[in-house]
Structure 1
Amino acid sequence: MRGNENVWTLAKGPLSRDPFRWFFMGRMLSLFGSAMTPIALAFAVLQSRHGPQLLGYILAAQLLPHTLFLLVGGSVADRYRRDRLIMLGNMGAGLSQAAIAAVVLTDSDPAWIILLAIVNGVLEAFTGPAMRGIVPELVDVPEIKNANALLNAVRGVARMVGPIAGGMFVSTIGGGWAIVIDASSFFLSAVFMSRVHLPSHVVSHHDPIAIVVRQGWDTFRHSEWIWPLTGAWSIMNALQMGTWQVLGPIYAKDTFGATGWGVALSMRALGVFLGSLFMWRLRISYPLRTAMMAAAIMGLPMMVLGQGLSLSYLLGSVLMAGFGASVSEVLWNTTLQQRMPSEVLSRIMAFDDLGAYMLIPVGEIVAIPCANRWGLHPVEMVAGVAFMMTALTPLCLRQIRRMTVSAES
């Protein structure tokens, strides 16, 4: 009986609205396609001469323009129709991924992928803030949390299924065909987005983009509950990416191997999916307090690595970390979308993304030198404790600790 009740709730929720349903289907397709690409592209590039070095250049070529154009992308998303911006971005991503697939399948010089990665980075800088800002335009305020939970659930499933499918393509017919599917998913997503029709933004188009960016900055810095959390995530992401993304595989290589590490990543994705289902069912009274308490759980896997515990402990901790990450992300996005005006929302999201990710390169660069100096286990342990403390520190601010859900929700 409860299963029928859940289906009925789902049918009457965000998916009952045509604009969100088209957006959701398009987003689902592009997420599953994109989840296959990293492993397919990595193996294709690593087989070439100077593969490891070239792969690093490709990753940097996508990250750098994304960072440089993020604020511009957020400003453009606030001035124009987000649905059309996302549709055009998906078409551009489809073309660039198709070109990357052609390079891989024809065994052409993989250096061409660097130029295409730059294109992808610029496109992501425009579509990212638009995607985070469009949800309140697709559903009513009370449905925003469940809409974010649905999107997060699909992301979790994609992260579980995508790498496995990509690996199967690599080992059978070739990773290039996985990238072809990714390109196709972007084109189909653009078709779905063409069915979303939002009204044009009633804003002035005469202000220079620099003025529009500054207006977003003024709103961001005067929102005393936003920038402390963005600052906390800046430190937390640096700690996590350095100790988990860089040192984690090194630890796995010397202990439970690549297979065990792959299972751990899948368990984290499962946690994200379960956390999204949890958020679908639960009503939270204090979203920011709950978000940061859930985020603190993400420090557990670092502490498990720091203690040198077995794989079973790590799997349990990453499952909990994925759950906490999902709860935190849904609540954070929902709070921003409910409380910030739509005409400035994408700029706020862009400043949030920029601030939250700006220290990641620092964490990734210093991780190995720190491990060489003090040892991998102590660095992991200290990072895990520091992560938890950083997550909980903003709760000292009463405005964050006591903030309730939007009155309209």
Structure 2
Amino acid sequence: MSSPPSPSSGAPRSSLFRRRPAWAGRNYTLLTGAAVVTNLGSHGALIAAAFAVLDAGGSAGDVGLVAAARTLPLVLFLLVGGAIADRIPRHRVMVAANALNCLSQAAFALLVLAGEPRLWQMMLLTALCGTGTAFFNPAAEGMLLSSVSGEHANRAFALFRMAMNGAGIGGAALGGAMIAGMGPGWVLAVDAAAFAVAGSLRAFLDVGHVGDRAPGGGLLADLREGWVEFRSRPWLWSIVLQFSVVVAVVGAAEAVYGPLVARDQLGGPAPWGLALGFFGLGTIGGAVLMMVWKPRRLLLVGTLCVFPLALPSAGLAVPLPVWGLCAVMFVSGTAIEVFGVSWMTTMHQEIPEDKFSRVSAYDWFGSVSMLPLATAVAGPVESVIGRTSALWGCASLVVLVTAAVLLVPDVRHMTRRSPEPGLAKAPARAPAAAPAPAPASAPDTSGAPLTRG
């Protein structure tokens, strides 16, 4: 991987550019700014979508169907999105995806503001937004990973995630308050505007430092090459299998059961938005910690920090009062951020630059593969065994699969390598041993807070 362009290249630097760290080049700064904008909108939009369904007279099953409609395109299009992002300039994929997200969220907002939205209409529009996310995420992962040098990776990823999750705090809290005072339609409109602004920023990304891609054998050949990179690492696919369960049950708990518990027992959308805001506050705390702490055993420390993700489901099952729920959300946010930075640092350390997006796509694909099913069946499961039992089941599954992945030797023994001073990581050509990005607030998911990378 080439070093990022120097801040001094191109146009003269402004005072703003002189104040930023030397390693934070133009691309890193634009990516961080765009992620802040989109997270301000998307964290509130997640809550707004659920309450738009409930306000239209929908049931718990309807909330789950809309959530599933958003995540199903991720499963269908992620691998194609990853292959395309490693073949053409990644920023073009990102801008096109943001444009689709903007249009679909704007249409959703108009539908809700006009009154009487139908379930199939809400499912269709959230599916379009999910399609944009499927193409955006692998390209965004690859673009971010190529924007910093190896010696600064840990700090750069921690700062990026801290800025992004800080915006999530404001977005979730403001979104909950806006829904209570103005209704969900206006929150969806804000999300559409945020995608428009972020897409404009990403249009200025510079890909001149990325070398020309070698001619490939077509889309299927690119996908096969990415699969070889993915399957050669037991700890990578084992953690992805773990997160296929974790993301599914936590997504169901937070996208379906959380709004229902908030409506029935916590006082409405504002307390739930506050709790999600505390999750974001926890991720900031974790990012600050990871700016100064560099654990040697990256994946062991990270995996231990997945256990606290069981706490929010358990807290909703009790249910805890609002202050108690905020506390467990804060703890889980802090813990998953430690995992997220460790995971991204490992990917940056090990994965060849020209395969970033494809390996990321397999990671995302595996991690979200069960999420549409989980959100779709959350309502029926509640009807059969009750909401409390369903939430305790979610918490138990997180603990069980996380304990299981600790049995994999490579998960326990993966260590941080110290880069040579002053050198950025060069693109590797042979398979390397390492994972791809990880759930705990990702760029532009417009979905559950539990996302990786």
* Equivalent residue in structure 2 for 1:23, among 10, 23, 31: 31
Shift of 1:102: 3.7
Alignment partner of 1:178 is 2:187: yes
Tell me by how many angstroms 1:294 deviates. 1.0
Of 340, 364, 367 in structure 2, the residue corresponding to residue 329 of structure 1 is: 340
More off after superposition, 375-384 vs 82-91: 375-384
Among candidates 223, 231, 234, match of residue 244 of structure 2: 234
TM-fit CA distance, 1:216: 1.0
**Greater CA drift, 363-372 or 216-225:** 363-372
Residue 224 of structure 2 aligns with which residue? Answer: 214
- Could you say if the C-alpha distance between residues 255 and 115 of structure 1 is closer, same or farther in structure 2, counting changes exceeding 3 Å? closer
Deviation at 1:272, TM superposition (A): 1.4
Residues 239-270 of structure 1 show CA distances to partners (whole Å, capped at 9, x for unaligned) of 33345554455555565444554433322222
| TM-score, length of structure 1 as denominator length | 0.84
Distance across 2 between alignment mates of 1:380 and 1:51: 18
| 1:293-338: CA deviation from partner (whole Å, max 9, x where unpaired) | 1111222334455666655544332221111111111211221122
Alignment of 1:163 onto 2:205: no
Judged with a 3 Å threshold, the aligned counterparts in structure 2 of structure 1 residues 127 and 371 are, in CA distance, closer, same or farther, namely closer
Q: 2:371 aligns with which of 360, 363, 377?
A: 360
CA deviation string 1:68-121 (max 9, x = no partner): 011000111111211222122223322333333344445586555544333322
Paired residue type of 2:416: V
In 2, the alpha carbon distance for the partners of 1:299 and 1:322 equals 11
Whether contact under 8 Å (1:234, 1:358) holds in the other structure is: yes
User: Residue in 1 aligned with 2:72?
Assistant: 64
Which structure features the higher share of helix residues? 1
Q: Distance in 1 between matches of 2:61 and 2:173?
A: 25
Correspondent of 2:128 among 119, 131, 134: 119
Q: Gaps spanning 5+ residues in structure 2: where?
A: 1-18, 421-453
Partner SS, residue 79 of structure 1: coil
Match of 1:197 in 2: 206
Residue from 151, 156, 159 that aligns with 2:160: 151
* 1:94 paired residue number: 102
User: How do 1:6-405 residues align onto structure 2 when only pairs under 5 Å count?
Assistant: 11-12=20-21, 14=23, 16-48=24-56, 57-107=65-115, 112-170=121-179, 175-199=184-208, 201-243=211-253, 245-248=255-258, 255-258=265-268, 260-304=271-315, 312-364=323-375, 380-381=391-392, 383-405=394-416
Contact preservation (8 Å) 1:64, 1:121: yes
The CA deviation string for residues 3-53 of structure 1, in whole angstroms up to 9 with x for no partner, is: xxxxxxx93265x31221112112211221223323444444544476877
- Please say which of residues 271-280 and 303-312 is displaced more in the overlay: 303-312
Cα pair 2:66 2:123 within 8 Å, conserved: yes
CA contact 2:290–2:341 (8 Å) conserved in 1: yes
- What's the TM-score once normalised by structure 2's chain length? 0.77
Distance 2:283 2:332 in 1: 8
Tell me the CA shift for residue 226 of structure 1.
0.6
Give the deviation of 1:397 after TM superposition: 2.6
C-alpha separation between the residues in 1 aligned to 2:110 and 2:379? 36
Q: Where do 5+ consecutive residues of structure 1 fail to align? A: 1-9
Tell me the alpha carbon deviations over residues 121-177 of structure 1, each in whole angstroms, 9 at most, x when there is no partner: 221111111111212221111222222222322332233221333344445555444
- Cα distance in 2, alignment partners of residues 51 and 300 from structure 1: 25
Is the contact between residue 313 and residue 391 of structure 2 (CA under 8 Å) also seen in structure 1? yes
Partners in 2 of 1:107 and 1:377 — Cα distance? Answer: 33
Whether contact under 8 Å (2:108, 2:188) holds in the other structure is yes
Letter in 1 for 2:338: V
Instruction: Return the letter of the residue paired with 1:182.
Output: D
Larger displacement relative to structure 2 (351-360 or 102-111): 102-111
- Letter paired with 1:214: R
Instruction: Name the SS of the counterpart of 1:138 in structure 2.
Output: coil
C-alpha distance in 1, partners of 2:416/2:243? 21
Contact 1:81–1:201 under 8 Å retained in 2: no
Task: Say if 1:157 and 1:248 are closer, same or farther in 2 by CA, change over 3 A.
Answer: same
CA distance in structure 1 between the aligned counterparts of 2:47 and 2:320, rounded to whole angstroms: 28
Give the Cα separation in 2 of the matches to 1:72 and 1:57: 24
Q: Is the 8 A contact 1:135 1:147 kept in 2?
A: no
Please give the alpha-carbon distance, in whole angstroms, between the structure 2 residues aligned to 1:40 and 1:238: 20
CA–CA separation in structure 1 for the residues paired with 2:116 and 2:380: 36
What SS does structure 1 have at the residue aligned with 2:279? helix
- Amino acid of the structure 1 residue aligned with 2:166: V
Residue type of the partner of 2:32? F
Amino acid at match of 1:239: V
- Residue identity in the other structure for 1:185: A
CA 25–221 in structure 1, closer or farther in 2 if over 3 Å, else same: same
Going from structure 1 to structure 2, the CA distance change for 1:236 and 1:59 (only over 3 Å counts) comes to closer
In structure 1, distance between residues paired with 2:388 and 2:185: 38
* Contact 2:32/2:160 (<8 A) preserved: yes
**Aligned-pair distance for 1:381?**
4.5
Partners of 1:198 and 1:159 lie apart in 2 by: 28
Whether the 8 Å contact between 1:136 and 1:338 is mirrored in structure 2 is no
Aligned length: 402
* 8 A contact 1:141–1:338 mirrored in 2: yes
**Maintained 8 Å contact 2:104/2:129:** yes
> Helix, strand or coil for the counterpart of 2:74?
helix
Cα pair distance change 1:280/1:93, threshold 3 Å: same
Q: Is the 8 A contact 1:135 1:144 kept in 2?
A: no
Deviation, structure 1 residue 230? 0.7
Percent sequence identity over aligned pairs:
27
